[in-house]
Amino acid sequence: MHSKITKFVSTSFVILIAFVISVYSQPVKRVLLEQHTGAWCGWCVDGSYIMDQLLEEYPDQIIGVKVHNGDGMVIPEQATIASTLGLTGYPTGAINRKLLGGKVFQNRTNWKNLCESELSEYPKVDIDMVYTINESTRELTATIRATMLETLNDELRFNLFILEDSCSGTGSQWDQHNYLYHLEGYENNPYYNLPSVIVGYQHMKVVRAMVGGAWGVKGEFTVPAEEGKTYTHTFKFTLDAGWKLKDIYPIGMVAIYTTTSKEILNSTSGTKDGTLLFPNYLLNSESQINKKVVNQGTPYSKVFTLKNESDAAVTYIISANKSQRTPADWSAEVVPPTSINSKDNISVATFEITIEPQETKNIELQLIPGPTRSFGDATLNLEVKNEPSGVKTLRYITAISAETEIFEVISSSESQYSLKNILINLGYNDFLTISPENFGTFIDDFLNKKVIVWNTGVFSPPTSSDISTIFQALNENVPMVLYGNQMVSGLGNDNSLGYFGVSYNGYSTQGFGQPPNKVWLSGVDNDPISGDFGKNTEGNLIQYLITLMKITNWATTHPVLHFSNNGKHVIPKSPKNDTLDISGEDAIFAVRLVSNGNLIFLSSITPFVIKDESKRNTLVDNSIKWVLGMLDVDEEFVTTNIDFSMEVNPNPMESVSMLKYMYKGSHPANLKFVLYNNLGNEVSVINNENLSPGNYQIPLNLGGISSGSYRLAAYIDGKVFSVPVLITR
């Protein structure tokens, strides 16, 4: 989307209210897809084809550029970017140079999903750019203006890329290699019938220069960069004599510059031969809050003050629009100054107002959620009348449905591993996908929390802040499903696994080696979640080996998934990183538990590790239904304080130990001791008696039971206590 320019026109005072239907605003957020490529790279033509498809589908929202390596179009910044941001191959692309799924550079098969995910996020900064090219001196001058839509505390920088289309030459530095020539599976690709080396290839969108270097320049930006303020920077650059002026164009951008992030916040292709005028007005709000949880039908309002700082009266057109992600049954409206705080509060989609010099008027922006539970955005658009080329000033607010009951909490960087499509296919239509940061901020405002699916995806462990939010929800007795390749290791690093009745048990080396990195997985007989999962189900590792858990409290926690085969090598958590062999049944990576009446499912894999889509979907469905109490639940596995204690001595034991126990209740109670194996299966009923208060001691004879780890549970008055028992021979 090109920037717009404006000047101001004096008119007589008038207020005109027009009742029209709200429409979607043009997107403010643009995504920069930065493909790293080379003439020598035979697969890179497929990257170019995928980029072209994206630009055709999103011509005003996605900007594509190509940064070359090892050919006649290479620039020095390419090596800096590649080494700093972790480039591992070609063609790969950076989407806004943002860390997504644990990495900045993404495989071309993921570009579409990740770009669309980025487009769904509201921008933090709006930018405009105008530029000129002096054909005599070959000097390009570009001025970028950034208007902050929220306050950011990071250092920000401006940058300018110079691009050229239709670049060609002779020889290996220019001729494009093409691995798709008559390659099976690529018959519909335009490169399928082109030769394996394309002589005279026309390279498009070539980044000829990064005027601000790899990371940009600070310009007028302050730290913090404050909401509502405008910052500018002008770049001047002399174009190389060999570049074709007719094919040259710049791309302007604003990016974060910190040790941990180089994310590009927004970008623009700008307007040629324009004049970037600065409006003689101020549009601010005393409230710094832009996001709120709101009930259906309740307007979320924010009042902005518009001041005409010019020396003449100016007529403004003010409208309210919805973002593309906002449901159709939500509405965005503005309240004119004459209606604010009046009995006849009239909200409209658009109106005009003329403001005298140095006068101010208040304008209220409203977003009213409808029945659809979701996120929504209302944008206040301000422009000067009779200036169709005028720059729009934008302000926005975001609302979240307060009535939401089901949540998928997932970082945007893991969006490709979201369970959204699975949940929709399973019929969970009224759920909300929300980031951990937003969920943590607004958890107290969601009063109808029914179940939380916390999904860390593949690359992201839960942060300490995430874990605090998880435990806040657990303390509110909200049923929870926890998925993710690094979920268990993250909880372990936070010393939080004990709550779930498990400990870290190393990670399995199965699947290490060549793709598809096969692993063989098993459910547990008669388990309400995995009973129908199968005993030898194929999985394919995604990035990481599978973290294992050891159940430490068999009274509360049951295994759900484990490895199929015995003799599996495991690397435990130790300085030596030695390997040891354990049985498949001991190699547990998913459990269910009941803690203080709350049902929880915990898995150390993303469901996408499971190859069979039907089994994957069933696992997700069953895990949610189980924590909601819709499947069979072992209600006896609920821990509650009672004045009872027991111990086994010696422990470990060979065949016989003494079981000592003490009961200080006020009345006789029924007591039963049950021995469970490490899969939660009952092995033996040790004792079943009516018990009076007192101290007791009985022999514990387990001579006929195989060596291994067990859990001895005591059931008394519907309550349960347990101790681990290790039998050695």
Cβ neighbours of residue 188 closer than 8 Å, sequence gap 6 or more: none
Tell me what pLDDT residue 264 has: 98
Do 361 and 232 lie in one domain? The reply is: no
Do 318 and 385 lie in one domain? The reply is: yes
Do 265 and 355 lie in one domain? The reply is: no
Q: Please, what is the average pLDDT of the chain?
A: 87
Q: How far apart are the first and last CA of the chain?
A: 75
Please give the model's pTM, rounded to 2 decimal places: 0.68
Q: Position 616: which residue type?
A: R
Most confident option among 64-78, 290-304, 668-682 = 64-78
Query: Quick one: what percent of the chain has pLDDT higher than 90?
Result: 58
Work out the pLDDT band at 359, boundaries 50, 70, 90: very high
More confident residue, 727 or 3: 727
Q: Position 21: which residue type?
A: I
Positive or negative, the CA dihedral 185, 191, 194, 195 is negative
Do 367 and 439 lie in one domain? The reply is: no
Residue-wise pLDDT for 444-462, tens only, equals 999 999 999 999 999 889 9
Residue 28 has pLDDT above 80, yes or no: no
Exposed e or buried b for every residue in 84-96, given b needs 16+ CB within 10 A?
ebebeebbbbbbb
Would you say 407 and 419 are in contact if contact means Cβ atoms under 8 Å apart?
no
Kindly state the average pLDDT of the residues 507-513: 88
Q: Is 406 helix (H, G, I), strand (E, B) or coil?
A: strand
Question: Tokens for 242?
Answer: 């060999």
Residue 361 domain-assigned (yes or no): yes
Q: DSSP states of 309-345 as a string? A: -SSS-EEEEEEEEE-TTS-TT-EEEEE-TTTTTSSS-
DSSP 348: B
What is d(CA 183, CA 342) in angstroms, rounded to the nearest whole number? Answer: 70
Residue-wise pLDDT for 518-556, tens only, equals 999 999 998 999 999 999 999 999 988 999 999 998 888
Do 154 and 67 lie in one domain? The reply is: no
Kindly state the average pLDDT of the residues 16-22: 29
Question: Tokens for 271?
Answer: 């307007």
Kindly state the average pLDDT of the residues 595-620: 94
Residue-wise pLDDT for 103-155, tens only, equals 899 999 889 888 988 887 878 998 989 999 999 999 999 999 998 888 999 99
Would you say 364 and 301 are in contact if contact means Cβ atoms under 8 Å apart?
yes
Tell me what pLDDT residue 281 has: 77
Do 385 and 492 lie in one domain? The reply is: no
Structural domain ending residue among the three candidates 601, 627, 653: 627
Residue 639 domain-assigned (yes or no): no
**Residue 294 to residues 242, 341, 573: CA-CA distances in angstroms?**
58, 20, 46
**Beta-carbon neighbour count of residue 605 at 10 Å?**
26
Type and span of the H or E element at 48 = helix 44-57
Work out the pLDDT band at 100, boundaries 50, 70, 90: confident
Tell me what pLDDT residue 4 has: 28
Q: Is 498 helix (H, G, I), strand (E, B) or coil?
A: helix
Work out the pLDDT band at 277, boundaries 50, 70, 90: low
Positive or negative, the CA dihedral 106, 109, 110, 113 is positive
Tokens 């027009």 identify what position? 18
Residue 21 domain-assigned (yes or no): yes
Pairing assessment for the beta strands 580-582 and 656-663 based on DSSP bridges: unpaired
Residue 577 has pLDDT above 80, yes or no: no
Work out the pLDDT band at 664, boundaries 50, 70, 90: confident
Do 87 and 224 lie in one domain? The reply is: no
Tell me what pLDDT residue 24 has: 31
Do 326 and 422 lie in one domain? The reply is: no
Would you say 604 and 589 are in contact if contact means Cβ atoms under 8 Å apart?
yes
The dihedrals phi and psi of 46, each to the nearest 5 degrees, come to -70, -35
Tell me what pLDDT residue 634 has: 46
Tell me what pLDDT residue 497 has: 94
The CATH number for 196's domain is 3.40.30.10
Q: Is 675 helix (H, G, I), strand (E, B) or coil?
A: strand
Residue 634 domain-assigned (yes or no): no
Residue 329 domain-assigned (yes or no): yes
Tell me what pLDDT residue 635 has: 41
Do 582 and 465 lie in one domain? The reply is: yes
Do 252 and 285 lie in one domain? The reply is: no
Measured N-to-C along each axis, helices 111-119 and 44-57 cross at an angle, to the nearest 10 degrees, of: 30
Would you say 659 and 723 are in contact if contact means Cβ atoms under 8 Å apart?
no
**Residue 397 to residues 101, 334, 376: CA-CA distances in angstroms?**
28, 12, 8
Structural domain ending residue among the three candidates 627, 653, 677: 627
Residue 339 has pLDDT above 70, yes or no: no
Residue-wise pLDDT for 474-504, tens only, equals 999 899 999 999 999 999 988 899 999 999 9
Q: DSSP states of 461-474 as a string? A: PPPHHHHHHHHHHH
Tell me what pLDDT residue 3 has: 32
Positive or negative, the CA dihedral 63, 69, 71, 75 is positive
Residue 5 domain-assigned (yes or no): no
What is d(CA 274, CA 475) in angstroms, rounded to the nearest whole number? Answer: 59
Residue 391 domain-assigned (yes or no): yes
**Beta-carbon neighbour count of residue 202 at 10 Å?**
11
Residue 9 domain-assigned (yes or no): no
Do 112 and 128 lie in one domain? The reply is: no
Structural domain ending residue among the three candidates 201, 223, 257: 201
Q: DSSP states of 191-226 as a string? A: TTTS-SEETT--B-SEEEEETTTTT-B-TT--SSBP
Q: DSSP states of 258-317 as a string? A: SSS---EEEEE--EET---PPPSEEEE-S----EEEE-TTPPEEEEEEEEE-SSS-EEEE
**Domains contained in the chain, number:** 5
Residue-wise pLDDT for 146-186, tens only, equals 988 889 999 999 999 999 999 999 999 999 999 999 998 89
Cβ neighbours of residue 681 closer than 8 Å, sequence gap 6 or more: none
The CATH number for 395's domain is 2.60.40.10
Which residues are bridge partners to 595 per DSSP?
598
Residue-wise pLDDT for 209-265, tens only, equals 999 999 999 999 999 999 888 899 999 999 999 999 999 999 999 999 999 999 999
Cβ neighbours of residue 666 closer than 8 Å, sequence gap 6 or more: 693
Do 537 and 453 lie in one domain? The reply is: yes
- Domain span at residue 576 reads 406-627
Tokens 């469970």 identify what position? 676
**Beta-carbon neighbour count of residue 260 at 10 Å?**
8
